[in-house]
Amino acid sequence: MIEGGFILFGIASISALYTILIYNRLVSLKHDTSKAWSNIDVLLKQRHDELPKLVETCKQYMQHERETLEKVMYARSGVSNARKAGNISELGKAESVLRQGLVSLFATAEAYPALKADASFRNLESRITGLENAIADRREYYNEVVNNNNVRLEQFPDIFVARLFGFDSFDLLQFSEEEKADVDVRALFR
């Protein structure tokens, strides 16, 4: 009888320990995902702050390109709203519109040699391009962490612990096909 009690106690202890390990791993994945999103958010905010400077610099040279400049600012607003709301799906759409606006702006700037020679424009163009590259890197990392989290939530026996403690899956950050395609800058000038 005592022997059976030790066996049941041993099984219960091992089960509890295993549940704790699963729980801790799920908590870690949840926080990794939040951290990855925060890294993207910081870069989006930095770019958000740089875009008005770029548009203002361009305004000095591009008086007849008001529509292009307004398109960038409208897209910037869409990204900001989606970012603040934490709406991953809308953020992807807004990012696509913003990227198209920036491509159009930089292509239009080619027609203004004085603007292209402006040190402030060159610095802002370089800064925004660097931020775009960093956002792409962070987006890739975010999606990897989200995928790891979501897979773990569906695996046996983790699924039971996840459901018991209310762990949720996260959405991948996806952009449109146009956003993912390489931009052929030379084609913009033909």
In the chain, the number of structural domains is: 1
What would the pLDDT profile of 116-159 be if each residue is shown by its tens digit?
888 888 888 889 889 988 998 999 999 999 999 999 999 999 99
Measured CA to CA, the distance from residue 152 to residue 176 in angstroms comes to: 27
CATH number at 54 reads 1.20.1440.20
Measured CA to CA, the distance from residue 164 to residue 161 in angstroms comes to: 5
Range of the domain at 55: 18-188
Is 176 within the bounds of a domain? Answer: yes
DSSP string, 19-41: HHHHHHHHHHHHHHHHHHHHHHH
Give me the pLDDT at residue 176, please.
60
Give me the pLDDT at residue 188, please.
39
Is 9 within the bounds of a domain? Answer: no
Which helix (H) or strand (E) segment is 46 a member of? helix 2-59
Q: What percent of the chain has pLDDT over 70?
A: 91
Give me 168's structure tokens: 């949720």
Average pLDDT over residues 98-114: 85
Average pLDDT over residues 61-86: 84
Average pLDDT over residues 156-178: 85
| Of 184 and 22, the one with more pLDDT | 22
Is 135 within the bounds of a domain? Answer: yes
Give me the pLDDT at residue 178, please.
55
Is 5 within the bounds of a domain? Answer: no
Is 116 within the bounds of a domain? Answer: yes
DSSP 133: H
Is 132 within the bounds of a domain? Answer: yes
